[in-house]
Amino acid sequence: MKPFITTSLRLLLYLILIAPLLLFIAYGFSTRWFFPAPFPAEWTTSTFDRALNDSRTLTGLRDGLTIAVIVSVLSLLLAFPAARVMGLRQFKGQQLAWLLLFLPTVVPPLAIGMGLNILFLQLGLAGTIFGVVLAHLIPTLPYTIFTLSSAFARYDENFEHQALALGASPLQIFVNVTLRMMTPSLVVATLFAFLISWSQYLLTLLIGGGKIITLPILLFAAASGGNPSTIGIKSLLFVLPPVLVIAFTARELTRHGEDIREQY
């Protein structure tokens, strides 16, 4: 009875997760699907072909991916030292430091965006990829810092001391010990940064000023247009990179998770 229940629950979970995707596929690859017909009357790839040949969509895909990748890398570079100190050390004013680091998650993005827009216009960063990247770092950094600092709180520096005593230089220790030990958390932190940046709408719109177009902006435009096929295809294109990233990182996580379980 127990295995039956767990299997059923698991299948139900898969269904809930996959149902929206099935709906997008059904809408994106069909025409003339009217209520109360349970399935589309006709299947076609014309909307998909059109999207693939649409320069705006391709630019949105390219710019969105570029921004998300740069944001992920920068987030890690900035979050890593901060998280190490926050996770491993205790110092006066640490609570205040946490508050400052987490402020972007409670301040409304509209307030941040409007303020940044004025500043970036003055600095000439508005409407540039770099400007959008900087803006995206605001919502991504708290999550990457939190993910990495909780990993550092469980991290034992004696692994590094051991490597030092065995003759490894600080750089060798960083590459061969610290990064290897932190890989699962780095993967999760990268995943967060990528997903948050990839799905950013408001900050991209405000800082990009219509010059930087990413897929969420096109998706919002398509959603207000009301064509189910276009919405379906653009939604699929929007979902595809995160799904690939998660699929890749899940495999990595399982591999490193085993190593960690063996140690403890």
Which of 28-36, 52-60, 164-172, 245-253 is the region at the interface with another protein (rule: CB under 8 A)? 164-172
**What's the min distance (Å) between Cβ of 149 and another protein?**
21
User: By CB under 8 A, is residue 93 in contact with another protein?
Assistant: no
* Cα 221 from chain centre: 22
**What's the min distance (Å) between Cβ of 166 and another protein?**
4
| For another protein, the closer CB: 95 or 263 | 263
The size of the interface with another protein (CB under 8 A), counted in residues, is: 25
| For another protein, the closer CB: 81 or 170 | 170
User: By CB under 8 A, is residue 65 in contact with another protein?
Assistant: no
Which of 16-24, 120-128, 180-188, 192-200 is the region at the interface with another protein (rule: CB under 8 A)? 180-188
User: By CB under 8 A, is residue 256 in contact with another protein?
Assistant: yes
Q: 63-66 — which CB contacts under 8 Å span 24+ positions?
A: 63/129, 63/212, 63/213, 63/214, 64/198, 64/214, 64/215, 64/216, 64/241, 65/198, 65/241, 66/129
Binder among 21, 78, 82, 168 for another protein (CB under 8 A):
168
Query: What is the rounded distance in angstroms from the CA atom of residue 14 to the CA atom of residue 51?
Result: 28
Task: Tell me the angle at which helices 46-53 and 55-88 cross, rounded to the nearest 10 degrees.
Answer: 70
User: By CB under 8 A, is residue 49 in contact with another protein?
Assistant: no
**What's the min distance (Å) between Cβ of 121 and another protein?**
46
User: By CB under 8 A, is residue 162 in contact with another protein?
Assistant: yes
Closest CA to 202 of 142, 128, 139, 118: 139
Binder among 6, 94, 169, 227 for another protein (CB under 8 A):
169
User: By CB under 8 A, is residue 180 in contact with another protein?
Assistant: yes
Amino acid 110 reads: L
Query: What is the rounded distance in angstroms from the CA atom of residue 259 to the CA atom of residue 263?
Result: 6
Binding site for another protein (CB under 8 A): 156, 158-159, 161-170, 172, 176-177, 180-181, 183, 256, 259-263
